[in-house]
Amino acid sequence: MLGPTLLRASRNKRLRDVIERNPLTRKVVTRFVAGQDQDAVLAVVHRLHSRGMTTTLDFLGEDVSDLAGARRVRDQYLSLLYRLHEAGDAERSEVSVKLSAVGQSIPKDGHEIALEHAHQIAVAAAAVGCRMTLDMEDHTTVDSTLAIGHELRQQFPLTGNVLQANLRRTAGDLAHLAGSGARVRLVKGAYREPESVAYQRKNEVDHAYRQGLHQLMASSCYPMVATHDPAMIREASDTAQRCGKGLGDWEIQMLYGISAGLQAQLVRSGHALRIYIPYGTDWYGYFMRRLAERPANVAFFLRALARG
């Protein structure tokens, strides 16, 4: 029950203002968000690279509805890419871009604006040897996001797309991508969706995730298995072996601040592990989705507030 309520709250602007203004809340947020600016995130990136991991960076923000705001997000990615290159960390990194932050939510011509901005980021990423994946947001954005991924791959074949196991359409989308050789990140899905388009029960989503893993491993795509669920990671390893994929032919991805013990263990056992690192000041939507995924996080959050 708590999860859907928190997901509804993640789009509530009044609650967002209250939580963002509270300094105690901001302290708790640092468990999931690497920092507010590029200096902070670059330090984290460097540390994780030295521990044998790779990274993907998300400049926090979503649902930007004006052109000036979308351009600011694009510019942030452009300067981040330059700084990653200067620091010698670009080739082990990737940028994760939410298209709603670079124009997709603008009512007039949003799709075209997002494509143009994503293309500019892809040019800069390719110039410094960095990769790019388009995050997937709620189900209303899937067609546009897949189309932009497809378009960008004509020039930048390493552009990745994300597919969400909770969406009923995903098996079809995976079948469509199967022969493309695209980099595909499979996730369970973090958005509150109606029953008409999405599985609602955890066991249904887990079943769909397993099916997705089998499809992805058997395809020509590069699988990016994004989950903290040990059962899914075991299933991915077994399926990869059955499909003749070695440890370098696919990767596991996890979010910054979650399952740190498991992350270290996977690196020790020779798995390729990429950590998704969000940074920036617009952390509210991202943070609320992390709370919604796990009731224990809410207790942690409330305890921190009570301690003051």
Q: Which parts of this chain interact with ligand FDA (CB under 6 A)?
A: 135-136, 162, 164, 187-191, 226-229, 253-255, 258-259, 276, 290, 293-294, 297
Identity of the residue, 67 or 304, whose beta carbon is nearer to ligand FDA in the bound complex = 304
Q: Which segments of the chain does DSSP mark as H helices, in order?
A: 2-9, 13-21, 23-29, 38-50, 67-86, 110-127, 142-155, 170-177, 202-218, 230-242, 260-268, 284-293, 295-307
Q: Are 181 and 221 in contact (CB under 8 A)?
A: yes
Q: Which is nearer to ligand FDA, 103 or 160 (CB)?
A: 160
Of 89 and 251, the one with the shorter C-beta distance to ligand FDA is 251
Q: How far is the CB of 290 from ligand FDA (least distance, A)?
A: 4
* Residue nearer to ligand FDA on the CB measure, 237 or 253: 253
How far is the C-alpha of 88 from the C-alpha of 214, rounded, in Å? Answer: 36
Least Å distance, CB 266 to ligand FDA, is 12
The whole-angstrom separation of Cα 164 and Cα 278 is 19
Quote the least distance from Cβ 258 to ligand FDA, whole Å: 5
Shortest distance in whole angstroms from residue 223 CB to ligand FDA = 13
Q: Which residues are annotated as catalytic?
A: 135, 185
- CA distances to 24, 31, 84, 253, 275 from 258, in Å: 20, 8, 24, 11, 10
Question: Of 153 and 192, which CB lies nearer to ligand FDA in the complex structure?
Answer: 192
H or E segment at 273?
A: strand 273-279
* Nearest CA among 249, 289, 223, 296 for reference residue 10: 289
Rounded CA-CA distance 262/266 in Å is 6
**Tokens representing residue 231 in the block:** 């059962």
| Of 125 and 291, CB closest to ligand FDA | 291
CB 39 within 8 A of CB 285: no
Q: Are strands 273-279 and 131-134 parallel, antiparallel or unpaired?
A: unpaired
Nearest approach, Cβ of residue 16 and ligand FDA (Å): 18
Q: Write down the least CB distance from residue 227 to ligand FDA, Å.
A: 3
